A and B are shown apart, each in its own frame.
Chain A
Amino acid sequence: MNDQALIDKANESLKDKVLAITNPAPRRIFLKVAVENLLEAVNWLKKDLGFTHLSTISGVDLGQSFEILYHFANNYCSFTIRTEIPRDNPQLPSICELIPGAILYERELQDMFGITIQNIPDPRPLLLPDDWPVGNYPLRKDWKYERPPEVIPGGKK
């Protein structure tokens, strides 16, 4: 298995669904697909190429849109599928059907970026507290942290 063979296989199987495929460093492949084809690409990667291990899901705020990266790994290399979703309607399909271990990363995405994951088995918040104000998503670039005024109960005024 080498990088070029993987890229050829991707072009061959997914054909025009491949929006871009890059290989910036040895053993690192980045494949870009549209969000409608995400599940198909993940399924192809898992079934045909045997990438069963999902390392993590990263989200990046690009300003106008969110970029979501699914980092897969097998015993040869790290294969990343990326997709972009618009910022004003952040919807993403859940991949938990295919990769059950993705649940925690998807919940983290929901908390941190306010992305709605469709068909997620467990939509509760994971990281943020239950009294966290609605509409605050810490990892969005326009979110700024403000320390709330500290009140000591029964303390000095």
Chain B
Amino acid sequence: MRFQIPIGPQHPALKEPIGLRITVEGEIIRDADIRLGYNHRGIEKLAEQKTWIQNIYLTERICGICSHSHTTCYVQGVEKLMELQPPKRGLYIRTLVAELERVHSHLLWLGVAGHEAGFDSFFMYTWRDREIVMDILERISGNRVHYGINTIGGVRRDLDELQVKYILDSLEILRKRSEYYKNLGTTEPSFVARLAGVGYLSKEDAIALCAVGPTLRASGVPMDVRKDDPYAVYDEVPFEVCTADTCDVLGRAVVRIKELFQSYNIIEYLLKNLPAGEIAVKAPRRAKPNEVVSRYEAPRGENIHYIKSNGTDKPERLKVRAPTLANYAATIKMLKNGFIADVPLIFAAIDPCICCAERAVAIVDARTGQEKVVPMNILKQISQKISANKERKREAEWPL
């Protein structure tokens, strides 16, 4: 018996709204379809009406978790358009925040993966330690999520000795805890049984479907914008690109845990070699007509902004491609012929950061399997028609 299960736009497995429609036969998924737009906010259109400076804060609000990724990507593109060279210290601090953000995002992902696999203890542990990173970020920028530290030509806040020492101390705790998660996540039998072999994505498919980030690296392709196309100060910092060749959710978890350790090393290097000097240069209000492609390795993969200027103080076009969008095609491939039980895991494994989904409601008839898409206003009419002639139910009462 085939029937369709609507997952989303609102569903407990999804931390943000997106529409997935899954055709199942028993417990096996035969087909999957994805629908975006529920959360579409028209940021690209809005960006054309805002100035260069206003757009920093607009791009910051594309995503909560990787807010720094989008601003950095945008800001370094605009710096190229304005022919600015930010001072070294500014770039170091920008990279430092980027790496802290990666740590906090990966810890968050570990927790979410644990929760989706029904391993709530793991979730509670990782999220407690994520607080340490959030505290560091709060010390640096004053905010826990939207750091607002980037500006065109550098960063807005400097670091002092005490902050450096605080970060280094906290880093020790994080290292120790991450070591524990590495053991737990890769040896706990029921957890590994749940992750291994799930969501298989072969190397060829990963390349053909243009997957990015840990999803791609877990399929054995060592692609990392930080290494391939170094921005900020990544050409000076020693680090390795982490890959795994198991091509499944376990591989993605391993890649992320390995990247945690790389990030700790990078943070330590940055803090120990922090140059003295200015943190920002003054930026002009306008940019000459030009265009630029800016790439950035966000925690979820390659983030790309295409910016075109037309000589005014507003951009002509700002195209944003968040890493999650690039992974959707691969997700559908991974979902097919899997189990329903694996849907949340596979979907969580790309670390979805959804700023999209749908605005219509899909009504699936369980008896016939027929599905019709009904827009919200007609749905309202239907519900009014049904409830109009009914007598009112008794109010709920306290039973004692």
Identify the A interface with B (CB < 8 A): 24-25, 27-28, 30, 52-56, 58-61, 69, 71, 73-78, 80, 99-105, 125-131, 138-139, 143, 145, 153
Q: Chain A: interface secondary structure?
A: mixed
Residues of B249-292 contacting chain A, CB below 8 A: 290-292
Task: Name B384's closest neighbour in chain A (CB-CB).
Answer: A153
A127 engages B321 (CB within 8 Å): no
Complex: how many Å from CA A145 to CA B290?
27
In the complex, which residues of chain A have a beta carbon less than 8 angstroms from the beta carbon of B212? Answer: 53
In the complex, which residues of chain A have a beta carbon less than 8 angstroms from the beta carbon of B377? Answer: 131
A99 engages B375 (CB within 8 Å): no
Complex: how many Å from CA A36 to CA B308?
25
A25 engages B80 (CB within 8 Å): yes
A86 shortest CB reach to chain B, Å: 19
B373 within 8 A of A: yes
Q: How many residues of B contact A (CB 8 A)?
A: 46
B382 within 8 A of A: no
B286 shortest CB reach to chain A, Å: 18
B44: which of A71, A99, A139 is its contact (CB, 8 Å)?
A139
B37 engages A69 (CB within 8 Å): no
A85 shortest CB reach to chain B, Å: 16
> Which 10 A-B pairs give the minimum distances between C-beta atoms?
A101-B210, A56-B321, A129-B359, A58-B319, A131-B375, A101-B209, A127-B37, A75-B228, A58-B306, A55-B304
A126: which of B36, B80, B321 is its contact (CB, 8 Å)?
B36
Complex: how many Å from CA A128 to CA B375?
12
Find the residue from A55, A60, A138, A143 having the highest chain B CB count within 10 A: A55
B211: which of A60, A71, A101, A125 is its contact (CB, 8 Å)?
A101
Contact A78-B207, Cβ < 8 Å, known A56-B326, A104-B329, A153-B380 = no
Complex: how many Å from CA A145 to CA B300?
32
In the complex, which residues of chain B have a beta carbon less than 8 angstroms from the beta carbon of A102? Answer: 210
In the complex, which residues of chain B have a beta carbon less than 8 angstroms from the beta carbon of A138? Answer: 42, 45
Complex: how many Å from CA A27 to CA B291?
14
In the complex, which residues of chain B have a beta carbon less than 8 angstroms from the beta carbon of A128? Answer: 37, 40
Complex: how many Å from CA A101 to CA B212?
11
B76 shortest CB reach to chain A, Å: 11
Task: Name B303's closest neighbour in chain A (CB-CB).
Answer: A55
B356: which of A28, A71, A127 is its contact (CB, 8 Å)?
A127
In the complex, which residues of chain B have a beta carbon less than 8 angstroms from the beta carbon of A143? Answer: 45
Complex: how many Å from CA A60 to CA B44?
11
Contact A55-B302, Cβ < 8 Å, known A25-B292, A138-B42, A145-B45 = yes
Residues of B24-46 contacting chain A, CB below 8 A: 35-37, 40, 42, 44-45
B223 engages A75 (CB within 8 Å): yes
B209 engages A77 (CB within 8 Å): no
Contact A101-B208, Cβ < 8 Å, known A27-B229, A56-B304, A56-B326 = yes
B325 within 8 A of A: yes
Task: Name A141's closest neighbour in chain B (CB-CB).
Answer: B48
B35 shortest CB reach to chain A, Å: 8
A55 engages B295 (CB within 8 Å): yes
B328 within 8 A of A: yes
Residues of B349-375 contacting chain A, CB below 8 A: 356, 358-360, 373, 375
B304 engages A77 (CB within 8 Å): no
B208 engages A52 (CB within 8 Å): yes
B325 engages A104 (CB within 8 Å): yes
A66 shortest CB reach to chain B, Å: 11
A53 engages B207 (CB within 8 Å): yes
B293 within 8 A of A: yes
Residues of B317-346 contacting chain A, CB below 8 A: 317, 319, 321, 325-326, 328-330
B312 shortest CB reach to chain A, Å: 14
Other A-B contacts than A73-B229, A99-B210, A129-B37, 13 sampled, CB-CB below 8 A, are: A24-B290, A30-B291, A52-B208, A53-B210, A58-B319, A71-B293, A74-B228, A101-B209, A101-B330, A103-B329, A125-B37, A139-B45, A145-B45
Complex: how many Å from CA A104 to CA B323?
13
Task: Name B356's closest neighbour in chain A (CB-CB).
Answer: A127
Complex: how many Å from CA A66 to CA B44?
16
